[in-house]
Amino acid sequence: MNTGKYIFAQLIEFLPQRIFDRIVMKYEGNKYVKHFARRKRIYKEFEIEGKVFAFDSTTIDLCLSVFWWAKFRRTKAGIKMHTLYEIQTDIPTFIHITEAKVHDQRAMDEIPYEQGAYYVFDRGYFDLKRLYHINEIEAYFVIRQRGNLQYEIINEGDTNHNADGVLSDQVIRLTNYLTKQKYPAVLRRVTYYATDKNKTFVYLTNNMEIPATQVVLLYKYRWRVELFKWIKQHLKIKSFWGTTETAVRIQIYSAITAYCMVAIVEHDLKLHRSTYEVLRILSASLLDKTPIKELFTKEPEYVADDGQLTLIFI
């Protein structure tokens, strides 16, 4: 009979216990901690120097009759989770939960910006006044242009980038009265043609130093964030332990904590599997006493079960 530790107990051993206990005491139960496990997960091959963050949101639908405090539309309720991801580590560094009706741009005011860091947004966050705030605190942003901006070209960079897909690299100044009031400084405008999508993209940034190809790369790295894809695809919370706002928040934070914990395990054990796959295997084995490493020495096989995919081992 195997008298070893349960999988859950083995998982807890991956936490730095002394550091964890000290944080719990300092912050009264880890109440306001906004970062976790980041240094372990840095990708050495990442090509951009400095911290790079991506900001995005996802909406979680709720039943209006039960979650009345989260009214979204006439017959719907919902909350929105705004998440700042550190791209080099696939780890969330900041989470802000609001009602679903709150516009994404308003969540930008809550981001704990760091001087010298890069922040990557999709065009849903295109707000010139808020982008100028990032510029003022000496941080950098990369965002897809939205709408037809009126501008004058201050400087035309080298356009001989056809092999890299860069069509133009310009320094511009906005000329419309309202837009130049919101963003009075110069901007860099990079136009890129993606051959795989047969589509042209226009990016704006306040960084004038890095090559145009790296401006494009920064936006592409936004889609490397595994947590971003994991939340979109797999954080489908069907039921909640409680119906109050606090209970919902606790459950969401628990889900993100579980992701971070699994990310540590995948890194330390050098499993070379997706975080979601590791999570699936561990969640099915929490009361098993098999050493964690052995769980991943067997080849997984997926079988259909009433329309669902179930993970088994052979």
Non-local (6+) Cβ contacts of 164 within 8 A are: 212, 213, 216
Spatial contact of 200 and 190, defined as CB atoms under 8 Å apart: no
Measuring CA to CA, which residue among 189, 190, 54 is closest to residue 111?
Answer: 54
Query: In the numeric block, which tokens belong to residue 118?
Result: 């890069």
Confidence bin at 69 (pLDDT 50/70/90): confident
pLDDT confidence tier of residue 44, bands split at 50, 70 and 90: very low
pLDDT average, residue stretch 298-307: 49
Q: Is 312 a residue whose pLDDT tops 50? A: no
CA distance 314 to 299: 6
Do the beta carbons of residue 104 and residue 57 sit within 8 Å?
yes
Q: Per residue in 225-266, pLDDT tens?
A: 555 656 656 555 556 778 888 888 888 888 777 777 887 888
Predicted TM-score of the model (pTM) = 0.74
Provide the b/e sequence for 153-175 (b: ≥16 CB within 10 Å).
eeeebeeebeeebbbbbbebebe
- Token pair recorded at residue 191: 């136009």
What are the residues whose beta carbons fall under 8 Å from the beta carbon of 255, sequence distance 6 or more? 235, 237
Q: CB neighbours of 38 closer than 8 A, spacing ≥ 6?
A: 86, 89, 91, 93
> Average pLDDT of the chain?
79
Whether the pLDDT of residue 200 is over 80: the answer is yes
Fold adopted by 34-236 = Transposase Inhibitor Protein From Tn5; Chain A, domain 1 (3.90.350)
The torsion of the CA quartet 132, 136, 137, 139, rounded to 10 degrees, works out to 60
pLDDT of the residue at 121: 93
pLDDT for 39: 54
Q: Which amino acid is at 233?
A: Q
* Rounded Cα distance, 31 and 12, in Å: 19
How far is Cα 141 from Cα 115, in angstroms, rounded to an integer?
11
pLDDT, tens only, 78-88: 888 888 988 87
